[in-house]
Structure 1
Amino acid sequence: MDPPETLEALQIRHRKEQRDLQARITQKKKSASKKTRKGVNDECATLESELKERHSQELAALNSENGFAATDEAPVEGDPEEEAQKDPETTTNGIAESLQNTSISSPTLESADSPASNEPRKKPNRAKARLARRAAEQDALAAQAAAEAASMPDLREQERINMRGYFSKYELQEKEIRADGHCLYSAVADQMDQAGLGLEPRIQPTIADKQLDGVSDAEKKLPTYKLVRYAAADYIEQNPDQFAGFMEEPLEEYLRKIRETGEWGGHLELTALARQYGIQINVLQANGTVEEITPAEDSTATGDDKKVIWLGYYHHNFGLGEHYNSLRKAA
């Protein structure tokens, strides 16, 4: 013979039966049509009444066995989380009344004199809990990212240290060039001036700046980087077959950016300048590589006949990104 059911086990079973009934009623009402709605409502009310009556009888029987009066029966409490998730449109007043009427206080679980027994239980604020959990996850990710960043090498400092080492090797000293988009052209102009090569290109620049219309010859002197820009653009314009295959935009637009904007220069422009001025451009990088850009017809020149200028190329050290400095011969 099975042992008698305890009060706690009875309460647990009653709560489960109440939840099961609620699920059945919800399903019935969702499936009901306008014609069957009244019959379904009546059936649901009958099921609620029968469950309420049966629970009351079972509680009374158990309390009589344990020596408690019917008025001292223990409460049958609903699950707050599941109550919060119920659909308000399908929750009937009958079920709520049934749950309330079957809740009977028990001296074995909670004192009748306790103020908390008369206060409704607060439902947990699930939205606030989600926000707090999300904020904690974001803080943890931020802390992890900061820790990873702290453990990573300082690429800018490493690049600077490496470049200094190669300056000594090649007997060079650095002339800082402003990082304004014109750095390649300014560095070439500085190198040409230091080497006494001048800025006279093989192809005379065609300066078609409309802003100079009506300005006297004395006032037409342009910044040296501007002259170098025009020298590169003019060489590319007159030798399009050597460069057009490497461009991602029409030739005219490419040339306009070289002449009229602060667009950065790169390998194409260095190649054009090497051929325009008949010089070799050595580009020193932080890994020790020296890229030699030679004019096609002068590539075999040696000794005193070889005109060479030096640029330092940086990938990490400046805010705008890639950058060129002038590398002069050490005194």
Structure 2
Amino acid sequence: MSTSPEPAAATAITEETLDQIQARHRKEQRDLQSRITQKKKNATKKTRKGVNDECAQLEKELKERQEAEIRKASGEAVEEAPQEDFEPEPEPEPGNDLADSLQSTTLAPPQQPQAQQPQESGSGGGGKKRNRQKERLARRAAEQEAAAVAAESEASNMVDHRSIEKKAMSKTFEKNSLVEKEIAPDGHCLFSAVADQLTLHGVPLDPAEDGRPTVVPYKIVREQAADYLSRHRQDYEAFVEENFDDYVDKIKNTAEWGGQLELAALANAYNVEIRVVQDGGRTEVIPPSSEGIEGEERKVVWLAYYRHGYGLGEHYNSLRKK
């Protein structure tokens, strides 16, 4: 789904299309994940809890801002959160019993009387008042120290899935004399990778036209996938959980990620065999022989599929012969 541009007086955000906003959001999320990973790697025993709190806050702020931008781009009213004149209490780490225990000592709101609260002496206010800010900082420091050992242990047990995945796939690349062509991780990667492969093999992206130089290649491939799904609705509708027409529209007109359903549609639409290299081997998507072109060898499209190699996880690259 896409939206029409706002008037010239609108802000820079509302001048973007919904497609562009979604693509930018994915990049911001990838960048934030990279920052968070680096922060956690550099954290020490004493700073681990503080780093975790900071990372959680960064993720929360990014999520809230992006949700507000999406609502604004969709024409929905954006409500601003009410401002508090006191600092909110930090939330404990999930599963941290000690942090949960400490959290239970949180001060009650100012209007409620505190048990054993020091009384001010005299009508002139000569007694010593409690410093709530220092108390909050003290509790926070205690929580950070209590969670440091657990956080350090958790980090040491983290598996480097990215390196393991890359190493496993490299063996298949070498065996088949393949080299990667990096595709932008912008939500269009599957369609961009297929477009790159089809162009290498001399397969027209739009069989009905000689060429559409003014149209970005991935958009043509998206259209072909969506059109094939629509024409063969009876074969694919059962695999789509949402409204089928809405799903097809997203594949055609937005940055919706493509997957196995779209690979099958593209293999049939272009009459090519699609081989996908991934951790654990490779999968093949082959259209029915009855739809092949007699006497002509079917082209083979090679793609690399990553689950962990990129910021947002799933990603496709194009694989070319050496």
TM-score for the superposition, normalised by structure 1: 0.53
* Aligned mates of 2:164, 2:211 — CA distance in 1: 46
**Which of 286, 294, 297 is the equivalent residue of 1:294?**
286
1:319 is aligned to 311
2:199 is aligned to 193
Letter in 2 for 1:162: A
Could you tell me the percent identity over the aligned residues? 48
SS class of match (2:316): strand
* Aligned mates of 1:136, 1:298 — CA distance in 2: 70
Whether contact under 8 Å (1:279, 1:306) holds in the other structure is yes
* Aligned mates of 1:250, 1:278 — CA distance in 2: 27
Provide Cα deviations, 1:116-150, integer angstroms capped at 9, x if missing partner: xxxxxx9x99x988974664234332442233213
1:244 is aligned to 237
Q: 1:285 to 1:198 in 2, by over 3 A?
A: same
Larger radius of gyration between Structure 1 and Structure 2: 1
Provide Cα deviations, 1:259-280, integer angstroms capped at 9, x if missing partner: 1111100000000000001111
Shift of 1:156: 1.2
Q: Is 1:271 paired with 2:264?
A: yes
1:177 is aligned to 183
Structure 2: gaps spanning 5 or more residues: 1-113, 118-127
Letter in 2 for 1:306: R
* Aligned mates of 1:310, 1:228 — CA distance in 2: 16
Shift of 1:306: 2.9
* Aligned mates of 2:175, 2:291 — CA distance in 1: 24
* Aligned mates of 1:309, 1:303 — CA distance in 2: 19
Provide Cα deviations, 1:132-186, integer angstroms capped at 9, x if missing partner: 4664234332442233213322111222222222210111111000000000000
Shift of 1:292: 0.6
**Which of 213, 219, 229 is the equivalent residue of 1:226?**
219
**Which of 264, 271, 276 is the equivalent residue of 1:283?**
276
1:153 is aligned to 159
2:300 is aligned to 308
Q: 1:246 to 1:219 in 2, by over 3 A?
A: closer
* Aligned mates of 1:321, 1:262 — CA distance in 2: 15
Provide Cα deviations, 1:9-64, integer angstroms capped at 9, x if missing partner: xxxxxxxxxxxxxxxxxxxxxxxxxxxxxxxxxxxxxxxxxxxxxxxxxxxxxxxx
Q: Flag the structure with higher helix content.
A: 1
SS class of match (1:174): strand
1:35 is aligned to none
Letter in 2 for 1:238: R
* Aligned mates of 1:301, 1:172 — CA distance in 2: 26
1:139-150 aligned within 5 A: 139-150=145-156
Structure having greater relative contact order (Cα 8 Å, sep ≥ 6): 2
1:19 is aligned to none
* Aligned mates of 1:174, 1:274 — CA distance in 2: 20
Q: Is 1:254 paired with 2:260?
A: no
Structure 1: gaps spanning 5 or more residues: 1-83, 88-121, 206-216
* Aligned mates of 1:329, 1:218 — CA distance in 2: 25
TM-score for the superposition, normalised by structure 2: 0.54
SS class of match (2:289): coil
**Which of 155, 167, 178 is the equivalent residue of 2:173?**
167
1:6-25 aligned within 5 A: none
Q: 1:133 to 1:274 in 2, by over 3 A?
A: same
* Aligned mates of 1:128, 1:234 — CA distance in 2: 64
**RMSD (CA atoms):** 3.5
* Aligned mates of 1:291, 1:298 — CA distance in 2: 21
Shift of 1:299: 8.3
Shift of 1:297: 3.1
Shift of 1:300: 8.6
Letter in 2 for 1:319: G
